[in-house]
Amino acid sequence: MEIRFEKRDVLKEKPDQKNLGFGKYMTDYMFVMDWTKEEGWKDARIVPYAPITLDPACVTLHYAQETFEGLKAYRTDEGKIQLFRPEMNARRMITSNERLCMPGFPEDMFVEAVKALVKVEQDWVPSEPETSLYIRPFMFATESALGVHMATSYKFMIICCPVGAYYAEGINPVRILVEDELVRAVKGGTGFTKCGGNYAGSILGQVKAEKLGYSQVLWLDGEQRKYVEEVGTMNIMFKIAGEIYTAPIEGTVLAGVTRDSMIHILRDWGYTVNETRLSIDDLMKAGCDGTLEEIFGTGTAAVISPVGELRYREDTVIVNDFKIGELTRKLYDTLTGIQWGKLEDKYGWTVEVK
Ligand code: COI
C-alpha cells in the first residue's frame, strides 16, 4: 500500500511520562484512508493530527455507523518498539464492520497502517514503566443523508496517544457494581462488536456506579439479567475453587485480545478455564462460602485489573481481602513481561515495528 506523508511544521511538546493518564495527549500525526462504493479504499495518508470536518447530515452523527479498535505499542528495554497481536484487532474490526454493514478494512492493510503510523510516531512511544502508546483505529460513515441506510462512503483513521494506567487505581484492585436494571447487550444485537453505540448505552450504568463509589459496572446478560458477562471496558474472569470461569463469546460479549491471550496462558499453565455462563447468584454464593479466590478484568486499556469488591443489590463481597491475587499478579507479570519484551515471547504474539 502506498502511504502519502504530509509533514507538519512544528511538532507538539510531549507530556510528562509520569503523568500520562489515559487518552489525553494525542500525537502529531494520524492515518487516514477513504472508501467509496465506486472506488473502494483509496488515498492512504499520514497527515498532521487535526480536527476533521463533517457535514451536519453525516450518517454517523445520526445513526452511529461507527466501529473502533484499541491496541498498544510497547518500548522494550533495548529501545525496540513492538505491537501485541495486531492481526487480532484487524480481524475483530472486520467482524464488527460486517454486523454494522460497513466495508471491511483488509487485515494486511490494517497492520501495515498501524506499523507505518507507529514508525512515524516512534518518539511518542513512552519508556517509563507501565506506559505505552495506545493506538485507536476507527471507521465511520461519511455520507451525508438522513435516510437510515448503509452508507456509501467511509473513513478509516488511526490516532495514537501515550498512556499510563486506564484506571486511577493502576494495578490496585477496583470496586465493581453489578448492574441489574440496565442491559448492555442481547443476542442478535451488537454486543460482540466494538462499536461506539455499545459504549454510549453503557455510560448511564457507569455514572450510576461512580455515584456509589464504584469504578465500573459488571453487566449481566440482557435477557434474564442472571449471568455475568463483561465490564464494558474489559472482559472479566473469576477464579473459583482453583478453576477459571469467564463468559463465553456467544454474541453478547466482546472477543477480547487480552481475554484470548489469558485463556491461552492459563491453559498452558494447566488451569481449567470454563468459558461458560456463570450466574450472579452462584458467583455471590462463592464469594460468601470462601471459594471465590480472585477476580480480574482483562483488556487492552485495562491490562489485567484485579477486582477487590463486588456489589450486587444489597450484598457486597470483598475478594482476597481487597488485595491483588497471586494468579492475577502472575498473569499481569507474564502478559506485561511479553509485551514490554522482558520475557520470552514463546507464543509469537509480538510484532516489531522497524
Ligand atoms: C481497549 O481496551 O482498548 C478499549 O477499547 C476499552 C475502552 C477504553 C473503551
Residues 225-275: tens digit of each pLDDT = 999 999 989 999 999 999 999 999 999 999 999 999 999 999 999 999 999
Going by their DSSP bridges, the two strands 303-312 and 174-179 should be labelled as parallel
d(CA 320, CA 326): 10
Stretch 81-99: mean pLDDT: 98
- From the list 1, 60, 9, 11, the residue with the least C-alpha distance to 32 is 1
Long-range contacts of 207-212 (CB under 8 A, 24+ apart): 208/177, 208/179, 208/182, 209/176, 209/177, 209/179, 212/177, 212/311
C-alpha cell at 133: 502508546
C-alpha cell at 134: 495506545
User: 232 CB under 6 A from ligand 1?
Assistant: no
C-alpha cell at 293: 479466590
- C-alpha of residue 257 to centroid of ligand 1, in Å: 11
CA dihedral 66, 23, 238, 325 (to 10 degrees): 170
What percentage of the chain carries pLDDT values higher than 70? Answer: 100
- From the list 286, 261, 289, 282, the residue with the least C-alpha distance to 273 is 261
pLDDT at 99 over 90: yes
What percentage of the chain carries pLDDT values higher than 90? Answer: 97
Listed in sequence order, the residues at least 6 apart from 12 whose beta carbon sits closer than 8 Å to its beta carbon are 27, 28
Q: What per-residue string of b and e applies to 90-110 under the rule 16 or more CB within 10 Å gives b?
A: bbbbbebbeebebbbbebebb
User: In whole angstroms, how far apart are CA 254 and each of 42, 196, 260, 331?
Assistant: 29, 13, 11, 20
- From the list 120, 111, 109, 114, the residue with the least C-alpha distance to 29 is 120
pLDDT digit string (tens) for 158-179? 999 999 988 877 789 999 999 9
Q: What distance lies between CA 200 and its chain's CA centroid?
A: 15
pLDDT digit string (tens) for 26-51? 999 999 999 999 999 999 999 999 99
Stretch 114-131: mean pLDDT: 97
pLDDT at 311 over 80: yes
Q: What is the pTM of this model?
A: 0.96
User: 301 CB under 6 A from ligand 1?
Assistant: yes
d(CA 354, CA 348): 17
- C-alpha of residue 134 to centroid of ligand 1, in Å: 10
The residue whose CA has the least distance to atom 5 of ligand 1 is 70
C-alpha cell at 298: 482483562
User: 86 CB under 6 A from ligand 1?
Assistant: no
- C-alpha of residue 165 to centroid of ligand 1, in Å: 12
d(CA 140, CA 94): 13
Handedness of CA 197, 222, 212, 170 (dihedral sign): negative
d(CA 160, CA 15): 13
